[in-house]
């Protein structure tokens, strides 16, 4: 218990330091640190039916949170030495928002019908073949073609062209809704995320909507009464939908709540600990030298190389190839073994790339950007600055499950944001 006490105390001090820097208790960095610290403490304290992870996992979370903290200090320091012209950024904000709306208007009329087609196909399959085993059959693998897309190349094309826009709509829409009261992009983005998630009986798309809306709401210091009312309705609606979708996959409602709240948020530490404890594991016998952290780029480049060499696999892909296999992670209250797969957290990715150094250094680097852009946003209210922070928050919050660093969808959605930011910076401003 002494280890938990010291770990918790250090993380509380981190949050206090961040409160002093940003003059706000719940800021982007403190939310991430609290998120990781809370769930690893729950896991290590043995408050679930899963196996307790080793103390070494606590150390890795400590390194991750420390990297974020020190990186944010440096980012704020860089920002503090700069002056920003508020009128200039007011112009930039308007132009950026207009460019977002133009891209949205040009693309959602293509994206929506495509998603709707596959959603209706999924409903038909569910109605005729039933729910049992459906989710596993929707994904293509080396031996089978998924029943939803029917062709692995079509599934890849969808994930490269459609899914990044859906994530982009959602995160941009969350900002515009919570900060400016503009609903269209948020509602369309949420609808698309809901349809995409439901057509595979997944729950994470719904969780994305809930969490990112909640985070933006917390970070907005000037919430109107109308926004507060709509926010409560949205949170209630998507929570109920999340429970209903979960209920379709579990026969016991209490089991849905327990798994959703505790097991899924802590199993990653158990799976990671299992890999670290096994001397013969791929994690202990290989390093990916940054290819996991650049996973989005790695995925896209691997697809390109496979056009010429079909059997090609990147080194990092080889390391995570077995993550779909079920691993015993504990025993339930009836004495039956519990099995999980896939949820190895971003700690696996960082450790595979460069051991403890990467676990500390990559969060340190991202912390610099988050600290800089959040401090800048507080001075300028420029939408681009906040969206950069929101994207990185998305990465760290949901990397508690699977590493979003290796997600090509997140990578490509971020590229869309950076493309718009670059276009705005090229614009000529006449601001005295």
DSSP states of 109-173: HHHHHHHHHHHHHHHHHHHHH-STTHHHHTS--SS---TTTSSHHHHHHHHHHTHHHHHHHHHHH
* Mean model confidence pLDDT for the chain: 85
* Residue 372 CB neighbours (<10 A): 23
C-alpha angle 404-244-196 in degrees, rounded to nearest 5: 45
Lowest mean pLDDT among 58-72, 327-341, 381-395: 327-341
pLDDT(143) > 60: no
With bands split at pLDDT 50, 70 and 90, how would you rate the model's confidence at 356? very high
pLDDT(332) > 90: no
Tokens of 294: 């650049």
Tokens 């930011």 appear where? 421
Residue 46 confidence (pLDDT): 83
Residue 90 confidence (pLDDT): 87
Q: What is the pLDDT of residues 159-203, one digit of tens each?
A: 889 999 999 999 999 999 999 888 899 999 999 999 998 887 777
SS3 330: strand
* Percentage of the chain exceeding pLDDT 90: 47
CA distances, 240 to each of 243, 305, 363, 391 (Å):
5, 43, 34, 26
With bands split at pLDDT 50, 70 and 90, how would you rate the model's confidence at 122? confident
Residue 432 confidence (pLDDT): 46
Q: What is the pLDDT of residues 55-88, one digit of tens each?
A: 999 999 999 999 999 999 999 999 988 888 878 8
Q: What is the pLDDT of residues 253-305, one digit of tens each?
A: 556 666 667 888 999 999 999 999 988 888 888 887 877 777 666 666 666 67
Sign, CA dihedral 48-54-60-66, equals positive
pLDDT(386) > 70: yes
């Amino acid at each position: 218990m002494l280890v938990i006490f010291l770990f918790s105390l250090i993380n509380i001090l981190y949050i206090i330091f961040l409160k002093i820097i940003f003059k706000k208790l719940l800021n982007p960095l403190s939310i991430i640190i609290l998120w990781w610290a809370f769930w690893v403490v729950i896991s290590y304290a043995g408050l679930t039916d899963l196996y307790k992870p080793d103390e070494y996992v606590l150390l890795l979370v400590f390194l991750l949170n420390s990297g974020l903290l020190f990186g944010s200090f440096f980012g704020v320091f860089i920002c503090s030495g700069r002056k920003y012209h508020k009128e200039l950024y007011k112009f930039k904000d308007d132009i950026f928002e207009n460019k977002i709306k133009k891209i949205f208007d040009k693309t959602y009329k293509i994206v929506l019908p495509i998603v709707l087609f596959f959603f209706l196909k999924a409903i038909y399959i569910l109605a005729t073949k039933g729910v049992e085993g459906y989710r596993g059959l929707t994904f293509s693998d080396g031996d089978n073609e998924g029943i939803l897309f029917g062709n692995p190349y079509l599934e890849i094309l969808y994930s490269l062209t459609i899914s990044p826009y859906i994530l982009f709509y959602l995160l941009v829409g969350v900002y515009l809704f919570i900060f400016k009261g503009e609903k269209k992009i948020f509602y369309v983005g949420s609808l698309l995320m809901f349809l995409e998630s439901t057509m595979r009986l997944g729950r994470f798309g719904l969780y994305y909507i809930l969490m990112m809306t909640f985070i933006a709401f917390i970070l907005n210091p000037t919430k109107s009464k109308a926004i507060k009312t709509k926010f409560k309705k949205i949170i209630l609606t998507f929570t109920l939908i999340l429970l209903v979708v979960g209920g379709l996959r579990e026969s016991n409602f209490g089991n849905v709540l327990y798994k959703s709240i505790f097991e899924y948020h802590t199993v990653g530490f158990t799976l990671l600990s299992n890999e670290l404890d096994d001397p013969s594991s791929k994690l202990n016998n290989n390093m990916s030298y940054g290819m996991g952290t650049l996973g989005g780029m790695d995925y896209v480049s691997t697809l390109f190389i496979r056009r010429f060499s079909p059997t090609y696999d990147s080194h990092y892909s080889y390391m995570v190839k077995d993550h779909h296999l079920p691993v015993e992670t504990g025993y339930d209250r009836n004495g039956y073994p519990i099995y999980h797969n896939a949820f190895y957290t971003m700690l696996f990715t960082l450790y595979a790339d460069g051991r403890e150094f990467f676990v500390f250094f990559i969060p340190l680097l991202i912390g610099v950007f988050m600290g800089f852009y959040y401090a800048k946003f507080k001075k300028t209210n420029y939408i681009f600055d906040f969206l950069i922070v929101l994207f990185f928050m998305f990465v760290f919050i949901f990397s508690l499950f699977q590493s979003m660093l290796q997600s090509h969808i997140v990578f490509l959605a971020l590229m869309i944001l950076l493309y718009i930011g670059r276009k705005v910076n090229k614009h000529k401003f006449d601001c005295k």
